[in-house]
Amino acid sequence: MQSYDVCECGAPLRLMERPTPKPTGTEVLLKVVAAGVCHSDLHIWEGFYDIGGGKRLKLADRGVKLPLTMGHENVGEVVAAGPDATGVKIGDRRLVHPWLGCGKCAVCRRGDEQLCRTPFSIGVFRAGGYADHLLVPHPRYLFDIGNIPPERAAPLACSGITTYGALKKVGPILQEEPVVIIGAGGLGLMCLALHRAMGGKGAIVVDIDPVKREAALKAGAQAVIDGGAGDAAKQIIEATNGGAWAVIDLVGASRTVQLALDSIVKGGKVIIVGLFGGDITVPTPSFPLRAMSIQGSYVGSLPELAELLDLVRRKGVPDLPIGTRPLAAVNEALNDLKAGKVIGRLVLTPG
C-alpha cells in the first residue's frame, strides 16, 4: 500500500510504500475513497500547539510518533475483514469515526472514547487516510453513509462532529437566541449548516477575511462582522441585542477568545473549539459577577456521530463548498490550507 507520511515536522509529506495490512480479529481493511484535509492536520504536521508566552505544547509529548500517516476524515470501501468483524461486508462504503480510545476504561465505556486518557485516534496516534488503504480496529467505528457522496460524508467525521458537539453545548438557547460563530473556514461553514439543521435561531459569523465573510453570508449567516475591526465586540453586542448568549470560537486565538469574552451577555458562554493557540488573562471575579462560562469542546463521541448522521439523513448533507484533489497532491492541499486559500473543505480522493 501507499501512503503520504509526515516523516519530519513541517517538511513535505513523503510517499511511503509498505505491505498492505491483513485484518485479523475484529479489524476491517478499507480502500480509502475520500480523505478530508483538516486544519488540525497543520498542527500535527508542524508538531506543536502554541500555548502562548512563546511556549509550545509538543505533539511528541502527547505520544504522536513519526512517521505518521495523517488523515482523520475518511470514507472507505470495505475490502477485507477479520473473522470477528461482524456487520460489514466487502464493498460497503463506510464513514470512519476516528476518535478512538482504549475501549476499556470507564470513560470509553460511557461512550466518550474521544476523552480517553490513552487515545488512539486515527490519523493522529495511528495511521490515517492519506493513503490508499486504512485499517480500522473494529466495525463499531464504521457508519453507513447511504447515498451521501463520499467527499461530502468524509468531513462529517471531524468538521461535522466537532461543530455538532459544540452546538450541542449551547443548549436549548440555540433555538431562542442567535449564536455567534468566530471563523468562517471549513469548520465555520459546517457549523452554520448544522446550526440551521438543528433549528437554530440565527447565526452571526465573525471572520477577518472578507472572502470568507461573503461565503458565510451566502451560506445563510444572518449577519457577518469583521473580527479585525476595532469595534468588533460592539458590533456583536448590537447584532445580538445586548450581548451574545453563546459564542463558538472556531479559531481559538488570544484575540478571538478575548473578543468572545467581550461580546457575551451576563450568563453567557464561550465555547472554544479552535486550536490556533495563545493565552488570555481573565479577572476571576468576572466568572461569578458575569455568571459566565468558558468551555472547551473536543471533537465528539461515537453516539454523537450516529446522531449527526441521523440529522443529516433527515435534513440533508451540509452544502459546504468541497474541492477534491488526488492523493498525490496532499502537500499542495496542506500548503493551500495553511495559506488560508481554501473555502470550505478540500478532500483527497485516493480511489
**Chain positions contacting Zn ion, by CB under 5 A:** 38, 40, 101-102, 105, 108, 116, 158
Considering the complex, state which of residue 101 and residue 150 has its C-beta at the smaller distance from Zn ion. 101
We find the least distance from the C-beta atom of residue 181 to Zn ion, in angstroms, to be: 17
We find the least distance from the C-beta atom of residue 34 to Zn ion, in angstroms, to be: 14
Considering the complex, state which of residue 98 and residue 227 has its C-beta at the smaller distance from Zn ion. 98
Considering the complex, state which of residue 274 and residue 350 has its C-beta at the smaller distance from Zn ion. 274
- Report CA Rg, the chain: 20
DSSP 163-206: HHHHHHHHGGGGGTSPEEEE--SHHHHHHHHHHHHTT-S-EEEE
Burial 12-21 (b: 16+ CB within 10 A, else e): ebeeeeeeee
On the CB side of 294, CA atoms within 13 Å amount to 19
3 state SS of 13 = coil
Say how far apart CA 118 and CA 224 lie, in whole Å: 40
Considering the complex, state which of residue 38 and residue 154 has its C-beta at the smaller distance from Zn ion. 38
What grid cell was written down for 180?
Answer: 455567534
We find the least distance from the C-beta atom of residue 349 to Zn ion, in angstroms, to be: 18
What grid cell was written down for 21?
Answer: 495490512
Chain Cα centroid distance, residue 274? 9
We find the least distance from the C-beta atom of residue 113 to Zn ion, in angstroms, to be: 6
Residue 293: strand pairing partners: 269
Amino acid sitting at position 150: P
Residue 233: strand pairing partners: none
Say how far apart CA 101 and CA 112 lie, in whole Å: 8
Pairing verdict, β 68-69 and 2-6: antiparallel
Considering the complex, state which of residue 158 and residue 347 has its C-beta at the smaller distance from Zn ion. 158
We find the least distance from the C-beta atom of residue 249 to Zn ion, in angstroms, to be: 16
Say how far apart CA 190 and CA 172 lie, in whole Å: 20
We find the least distance from the C-beta atom of residue 118 to Zn ion, in angstroms, to be: 6
Considering the complex, state which of residue 268 and residue 318 has its C-beta at the smaller distance from Zn ion. 318
Considering the complex, state which of residue 119 and residue 268 has its C-beta at the smaller distance from Zn ion. 119
We find the least distance from the C-beta atom of residue 301 to Zn ion, in angstroms, to be: 12
Residue 321: strand pairing partners: none
Considering the complex, state which of residue 136 and residue 232 has its C-beta at the smaller distance from Zn ion. 136
